């Protein structure tokens, strides 16, 4: 355990920036984005502009607390946080990102040693927050392993809980071999769905990997209009029916397009879009963020057909790249350049479901990490959370079950 004086010394060894507004984060975009490139994080929404956009959309003004550690002109670590109060009383800081957009990511230089993590924890201990809440952490990734280890060295044992597993499917250069790895029933279901769609009309698959910025809004409207025709539209929870949300996704999509990271897919029947995927690429990973399909065509499994045709194209691109430069195949996804269009992994970007599990993805845990940085009130609150939250959650599930 570090004494308080030693923790303050650790924080002083590097320059600590506390960025308290989206505008100030944009002013540090060059250094922040350079850190993103050097980090293990692949999510392109971890760059400065998408985080600033998220803060403007979702964080009340005056609650931004983005920490950055620098040595000279080089940024070594960054943690975007939003301040709030639990129950209107207990101050906390939580990682940016929510169910609409996962814009929160711990960025640490991949070459950083333990001292950088220790200094980051020491800097966090200077915040007024009683605890830090990281609700969507890929807990097995190097940056979060380093974070958790630093918490323990500082005497602040983190609470780590897995929320769900996310599927990731590696992309090879042999689509037929990929299909043979799927279950027989799923292969047959896809063959049947494709045949029926082709009998029903002219089936096309369209993928936009580098759309002009001025084309993003009409493309997204066409895509989210599909979602709006589903139950989400009737419930008023679709992107188009949620105030301000379509504009937010347009701004995000335009920024991704400028970085050549936007990746949109459509399945069309006789020119009519019946399935849509909103995705984005970073360091060789394609994140499949939102998928929707027209309920009028549900009997054709359009969402699964979209993934089939997307996987087919991704494998074809890998096969073509193997002909041009064989050494590129099998390289580490995180080593790819940020603008790299060649996808090596498809990340389903959400809880592993029966539908996505049919593609036989590898699974990794996404969880929450809660830590009280050496403050009596925070540690007491964290102790109460550890002790009572599992019982309260079980009671809520029981009540919900009885109501059903």
Report the pLDDT value the prediction gives residue 131, as an integer from 0 to 100.
87
Q: Tell me the backbone φ, ψ of residue 222, rounded to 5 degrees.
A: -60, -35
Residues facing residue 68 across a β-bridge = 17, 78
Distance of alpha carbon 351 from its chain centroid, rounded?
12
pLDDT band at 130 (very low <50, low <70, confident <90, very high): confident
pLDDT, one tens digit per residue, over 74-128 is 999 999 999 988 767 778 899 999 999 998 899 999 999 999 999 999 999 999 8
- Angle subtended by helix axes 29-38 and 48-58, to nearest 10: 120
CA-nearest of 166, 153, 123, 96 to 348 is 166
Q: Are 307 and 278 in contact (CB under 8 A)?
A: no
pLDDT band at 189 (very low <50, low <70, confident <90, very high): very high
Rounded CA-CA distance 73/148 in Å is: 27
Q: Are 32 and 78 in contact (CB under 8 A)?
A: yes
Rounded CA-CA distance 10/4 in Å is: 10
Q: Tell me the backbone φ, ψ of residue 301, rounded to 5 degrees.
A: 50, 55
Contacts of 171 (CB under 8 A, 6+ apart): 311, 314, 315, 318, 343, 344, 345, 346
Report the pLDDT value the prediction gives residue 90, as an integer from 0 to 100.
78
Instruction: List, in sequence order, every beta strand (DSSP E) within 209-261.
Output: none
Report the pLDDT value the prediction gives residue 104, as an integer from 0 to 100.
81
CA distances from 393 to 106, 130, 165, 396, 402 (A): 28, 22, 19, 5, 14
Is residue 164 scored above 70 in pLDDT?
Answer: yes
pLDDT, one tens digit per residue, over 332-350 is 343 345 446 799 999 999 9
Q: How many residues does the chain have?
A: 404
The DSSP string of 94-148 is EES--SS------EEBTT--HHHHHHHHHHHTTSS-SEEEEEEE-TTSHHHHHHH
Rounded CA-CA distance 46/103 in Å is: 6
pLDDT, one tens digit per residue, over 296-334 is 999 999 999 999 999 999 999 999 998 886 544 444 343
Q: What's the token pair of residue 344?
A: 């090596």
pLDDT band at 374 (very low <50, low <70, confident <90, very high): low
The DSSP string of 168-183 is EEE--S-HHHHHHTS-
CA distances from 344 to 24, 289, 297, 369 (A): 34, 17, 30, 28
In order of their start, the domains of the chain are 4-165+365-403 (3.40.630.30), 172-343 (3.40.630)
């Amino acid at each position: 355990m570090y004494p308080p004086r030693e923790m303050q010394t650790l924080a002083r060894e590097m320059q600590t920036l506390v960025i308290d507004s989206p505008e100030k984060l944009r002013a540090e975009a060059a250094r922040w984005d350079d850190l993103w490139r050097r980090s293990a994080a692949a999510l392109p929404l971890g760059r400065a502009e998408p985080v600033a956009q998220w803060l403007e959309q979702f964080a009340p003004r005056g609650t931004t607390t983005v920490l950055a550690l620098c040595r000279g002109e080089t940024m070594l670590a960054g943690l975007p946080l939003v301040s709030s109060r639990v129950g209107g009383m207990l101050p906390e800081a939580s990682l940016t990102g929510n169910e609409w957009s996962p814009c929160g990511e711990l960025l640490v230089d991949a070459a950083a040693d333990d001292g950088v993590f220790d200094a980051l924890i020491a800097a966090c201990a200077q915040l007024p927050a009683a605890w830090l809440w990281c609700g969507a952490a890929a807990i097995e990734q190097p940056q979060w392993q380093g974070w958790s280890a630093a918490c323990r060295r500082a005497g602040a044992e983190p609470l780590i809980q897995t929320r769900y597993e996310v599927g990731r499917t590696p992309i090879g250069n042999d689509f037929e071999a990929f299909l043979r790895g799927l279950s027989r029933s799923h292969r047959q279901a896809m063959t049947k769905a494709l045949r029926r769609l082709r009998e029903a009309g002219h089936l096309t698959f369209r993928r936009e990997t580098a759309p002009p910025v001025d084309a993003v809004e009409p493309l997204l409207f066409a895509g989210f209009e599909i979602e709006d025709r589903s139950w989400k539209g009737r419930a008023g929870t679709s992107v188009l029916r949620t105030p301000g949300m379509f504009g937010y996704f347009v701004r995000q999509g335009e920024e991704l397009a400028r970085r050549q990271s936007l990746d949109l897919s459509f399945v069309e029947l006789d020119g009519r879009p019946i399935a849509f995927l909103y995705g984005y690429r970073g360091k060789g990973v394609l994140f499949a963020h939102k998928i929707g399909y027209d309920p009028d065509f549900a009997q054709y499994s359009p969402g699964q057909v979209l993934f089939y045709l997307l996987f087919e194209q991704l494998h074809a691109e890998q096969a073509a790249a193997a002909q041009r430069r064989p050494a590129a195949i099998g390289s580490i996804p995180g080593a790819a350049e940020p603008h790299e269009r060649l996808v090596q992994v498809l990340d389903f970007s959400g809880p592993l479901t029966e539908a996505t599990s049919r593609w036989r993805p590898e699974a990794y845990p996404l969880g929450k990490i809660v830590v009280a940085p050496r403050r009596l009130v925070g540690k007491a609150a964290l102790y109460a959370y550890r002790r009572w939250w599992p019982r309260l959650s079980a009671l809520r599930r029981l009540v919900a079950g009885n109501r059903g």
